[in-house]
Chain A
Amino acid sequence: MNDFMRNLLFLPEQASTFAHRVDRLHYVVIGTTVLAALGVGTAGLAFFWRYRIRTHGQLTQDVKAPLWLEALIVGVPLTVFLAWFAVGFSDFVFFTSPPKKTTDIYVEGKQWMWKFAYPEGPNAIGTLRVPAGRPVRLLMTSRDVIHSVFIPAFRTKMDVVPGRYTQLWFEATEVGRYPLFCTEYCGMSHSMMAGEVVVMPPAEFDRWFEAQKAGRPAVQDGTPVVGERVSLPADLVHEGQRVSAQLGCFKCHTVNGEPHLGPTWLDLYGRVSKFQDGTERVADEAYLTESMMDPSAHVVAGFANMMPTYRGRLQGPEAAALVEYIKSLRSARAPGEGAAP
């Protein structure tokens, strides 16, 4: 029944305790709404037919409502709506009241990326790793305009406001990867301010966390979690595409030739890049790798020095896959192969 209703209403999977809790009310409310709209529509249509005009200038009399009908007309909607509210508000209190012991993660929103910071632990951009079965609390603030963290699979959302710390707690129930969206309009790339929540088995999470604390990035963001079904990368180009999507490279770089926060990757390989300090250099494998590991060494003219370093976050094979992926992005007017170094 649950899955039937969920699919009927196009709801995503239920991956948190709150999602399981709130969806039941959802089904009841939407079900009643549909029935009421159909009921009123049907009554209207039935009356249209039953009481259609029969003779020219037909007269009609005022119909007065008996008291019981008036009481029913007021009482039924009032009771139904208040009942929904009572259940809904108690669920909301659950949603706004985190348990005493939680795993705290700091969240900072900025145009247009998410930064997740673990106390005494690692930072991550775009990917939020959380343990399953343990309550997690996000402590959130914004560096510029208002953003909002929305995780559809958890049915949770909270605005991220400059000058305030807001909190959002959840307890994930299913291991897996779930999209995270920004739902407060924040300017040009609002729709690309996406992230991902990776729910790991608790033991796995602890291992990952310890490794991160020790400065040994044991599991990278692109690495599948236990229990996740993955298709093995067919080749380096596809692996590179996957890695760049996971790491959020596309938040700043495009692959269609349009400049964004960073230079486009289309035809980047082999192109002569001009830098802020007036020097220039042909973009080869070495340059591309340097740009990932030490982005402020050469900042392309016309762009801000804002890219974070991926040293320690990208493993060797992943960096290589990224380079191969960038090399594969050629348009019709790309410089010929001979122009490449």
Chain B
Amino acid sequence: MRPSETGTGSLQPDESVLTGAPSLHPSGEIFPAAHYLNAGTRLRSWLVTVDHKRIAVLYLVSTLTALFLGGLFAMAVRVELVGPEPNLVDAVGYNRLFTLHGVVMVFFFMIPAIPGIFGNFMLPLMLGAKDVAFPRLNLLSWYVYVVGAAFTLWAMLYGGADTGWTFYTPYSTITPTKVTPILLGIFVTGFSSILTGLNFIVTIHTLRGPGLTWMRLPLFAWALYGTSIIQLLATPVLGLVVLAAALGHIFAFDLFDPARGGDPVLFQHLFWFYSHPAVYIMVLPAFGVVSETVQAFGRKIIFGYRAVALATAGIAFVGFFVWGHHMFVSSQSTFDAGAFGVLTMLVGVFTAIKVFNWVGTLYKGAIVWRTPLLYVCGFLYFVVFGGMTGVAVATVSLDVHWHDTYFVVAHFHFIMVGATLMAFLAGLHYWFPKMFGRTYPEGWGMVAGALIILGFNATFVPQFLLGNMGMPRRYYTYAEQFRTLNVASTFGATLLLFGFLLVGLYLLLSLRGGKVAGPNPWGSKGFEWLTQSPPLEHNFRTQPTFHGPPHDYSTPVEENLHG
């Protein structure tokens, strides 16, 4: 036992200062001797691993790289927009930047991140299983992701495309930039998404431990189940549509060209048939993370388990029938606009149900104020504001003004960043001890969290106002009256950047230098904490059996039952 592997033996000062709450975990924990991280230390043992936990770590490294790259592009965009004059790049350079920002963030971070990292790591643990149903397929889906990312990286090195992440024809057909490798990258990555979805569905159906009925399933598993169904059913359509766009570009044979009897609006229908459900691929796992976190730190079982689970399924289902709300002014019929608009309201209702349940969970809880809960707090505010502005843009007549302006940009960033990224950070802090056996510095966690929430507001609230003023999105240069709010937005983005760098820094340092966490530092009754942290190579020494729902805090925590 190296000295660094034992705890300090004293309460961290920042804990009691910040929370006034008693420490939840006894000090002097000892790092487990055998765990999945030291089950093989050569590079080969990582590259050919079929352990779901190691694959999760591979996803962690690759998706965080994507987040970093996408963030750099975002910062470049914001720097360019501090004034209407050319600041950093020329018009085509700017168009490439926002395209790469969108493509990298959506396809290489938002979609794979939470399922790839936390889904892979936690799902088998939550089910009391040794691994996912198809461990080799799981590794394959990571490699497919890497191949897709490599195509996109190739495109980036060649200068990237300038179509926006939506690739609308006919522009994507005639642009001289390199759309082909980017489309191929997205096409290939889609298979990774399909394979992961398939794997999770089969895992949840077949590998639930003894006593783990569907109504005892952790809500994160429910969220992954809903997500996986969307991934399985919607992603093939994305594959089809990007392939059609790529063919149009390579052979100058646009399938949607009106001169050949095609219709560019059909492309939009097909594109959004995937890309709207894809929003729920990005946001449902985040909802799952919040359901877990709010129970663990509210120390109370979820308020209305059945409602949350059903709302998850409801969003996954209705999400397939709302794509046309992206096209209210695209010349689709008035009837279509009404139908898609009213169906979208149902998504709003399902989300509202979840919000009430999360807030209700805190009622009569025993709340422990830790960094993950700070992010949940931010999440709740952002998801209500972002979600209700979503209902607002689905209110057909209002969207006429807002469509393709910065209002829409701000709205979906509230959902993508405000909800998904907040939940990602909540999960990252909550499960960091589970994954690596050490805790992060709580004080720095709070500082960075506050910085990120503040910076996020400062970035995107001005963008709502810019949209109201009428500033269209994807504008390289703009009228003088838009300057002040753009400067404010860039200032906010800078705060956001510092927040993220801070998180990255202390988490990296905590990997080696963090305090040893012990099996269950939060005293959580989530099923994934039934084993040691970091878990054994095959998760459990003895098979857990399940006698009740997760996060039942009406009885004391029994630690490390099966580790």
A11 at the interface (CB under 8 A from B): yes
Q: Are A52 and B400 in contact (CB under 8 A)?
A: no
A96 at the interface (CB under 8 A from B): yes
Q: Are A33 and B362 in contact (CB under 8 A)?
A: no
| Cα A3 to Cα B87 with chains together (Å) | 36
A223 at the interface (CB under 8 A from B): no
Binding-face segment, A151-159, A204-212, A272-280, A302-310: A151-159
A337 at the interface (CB under 8 A from B): no
Q: Are A88 and B369 in contact (CB under 8 A)?
A: no
Q: Are A158 and B380 in contact (CB under 8 A)?
A: no
A48-B367, A159-B331 given; A40·B403 CB < 8 A: no
Complex interface: chain B residues within 8 A of A29 (CB):
388, 391-392, 395, 398
Contact of A36 among B21, B90, B384 (CB under 8 A): B384
| Cα A164 to Cα B330 with chains together (Å) | 11
A40-B355, A183-B405 given; A88·B395 CB < 8 A: yes
| Cα A51 to Cα B360 with chains together (Å) | 12
A53-B366, A60-B553, A85-B396 given; A157·B401 CB < 8 A: yes
A37-B381, A44-B362 given; A57·B554 CB < 8 A: no
List CB contacts (< 8 Å) of A76-114 with chain B.
Answer: 77-78, 81-82, 84-85, 87-97
Q: Are B365 and A51 in contact (CB under 8 A)?
A: yes
Complex interface: chain A residues within 8 A of B365 (CB):
47, 51, 60
A29-B392, A77-B352, A84-B395 given; A152·B469 CB < 8 A: yes
Complex interface: chain B residues within 8 A of A235 (CB):
none
| Cα A185 to Cα B170 with chains together (Å) | 11
Q: Are A163 and B258 in contact (CB under 8 A)?
A: yes
Contact of B342 among A43, A82, A186 (CB under 8 A): A82
A182 at the interface (CB under 8 A from B): yes
Complex interface: chain A residues within 8 A of B164 (CB):
185
| Cα A181 to Cα B478 with chains together (Å) | 10
Contact of A65 among B20, B24, B303, B380 (CB under 8 A): B303
Chain B residue with Cβ nearest A166: B331
Complex interface: chain A residues within 8 A of B391 (CB):
29, 33, 81, 84
Complex interface: chain A residues within 8 A of B303 (CB):
63, 65
A146 at the interface (CB under 8 A from B): yes
A148-B404, A161-B264 given; A37·B388 CB < 8 A: yes
Q: Are B475 and A88 in contact (CB under 8 A)?
A: no
B513 at the interface (CB under 8 A from A): no
Q: Are A40 and B384 in contact (CB under 8 A)?
A: yes
Q: How far is the CB of B75 from chain A (nearest CB, A)?
A: 20
Q: Are A52 and B369 in contact (CB under 8 A)?
A: yes
A284 at the interface (CB under 8 A from B): no
Q: Are B398 and A88 in contact (CB under 8 A)?
A: yes
List CB contacts (< 8 Å) of A98-155 with chain B.
Answer: 144-146, 148, 150, 152-153, 155
Contact of B360 among A61, A63, A159, A256 (CB under 8 A): A63
A334 at the interface (CB under 8 A from B): no
| Cα A274 to Cα B556 with chains together (Å) | 87
Complex interface: chain A residues within 8 A of B468 (CB):
9-11
Q: Are A51 and B554 in contact (CB under 8 A)?
A: no
Binding-face segment, B121-129, B333-341, B439-447: B333-341
B389 at the interface (CB under 8 A from A): yes
Q: Are B472 and A53 in contact (CB under 8 A)?
A: no
B487 at the interface (CB under 8 A from A): no
Q: Are B359 and A44 in contact (CB under 8 A)?
A: yes
Q: Are B170 and A146 in contact (CB under 8 A)?
A: yes
* Tally of contact residues, B, Cβ under 8 A: 100
Complex interface: chain A residues within 8 A of B135 (CB):
none
A37-B385, A85-B341 given; A65·B392 CB < 8 A: no
| Cα A338 to Cα B401 with chains together (Å) | 54
Complex interface: chain B residues within 8 A of A285 (CB):
none
Contact of B21 among A53, A162, A179 (CB under 8 A): A53
Q: Are B299 and A44 in contact (CB under 8 A)?
A: no
Q: How far is the CB of B414 from chain A (nearest CB, A)?
A: 10
Q: How far is the CB of A47 from chain B (nearest CB, A)?
A: 4
Q: Are A59 and B359 in contact (CB under 8 A)?
A: no
Contact of A51 among B367, B388, B485 (CB under 8 A): B367
A246 at the interface (CB under 8 A from B): no
Contact of A157 among B258, B403, B552 (CB under 8 A): B403
Chain A residue with Cβ nearest B352: A77
Complex interface: chain A residues within 8 A of B485 (CB):
10
B476 at the interface (CB under 8 A from A): yes
Max chain A C-beta neighbours (<10 A), residue from B92, B299, B475: B475
A12 at the interface (CB under 8 A from B): yes
Q: How far is the CB of A128 from chain B (nearest CB, A)?
A: 16
Q: How far is the CB of A331 from chain B (nearest CB, A)?
A: 15
A188 at the interface (CB under 8 A from B): yes
Q: Are A77 and B342 in contact (CB under 8 A)?
A: no
| Cα A185 to Cα B177 with chains together (Å) | 15
Q: What are some 7 contacts across the A-B interface (CB < 8 A)?
A: A33-B385, A52-B20, A65-B360, A144-B174, A159-B330, A187-B162, A192-B477
Residues on B facing A (Cβ under 8 Å): 19-24, 86, 90-92, 95, 162-164, 168, 170-171, 174-175, 257-259, 262-265, 298-301, 303-304, 307, 328-331, 334, 337-338, 341-342, 345, 348-349, 352-353, 355-356, 359-360, 362-369, 373, 377, 380-381, 384-385, 388-389, 391-392, 394-398, 400-401, 403-405, 465-466, 468-470, 472-479, 485, 523, 552-557
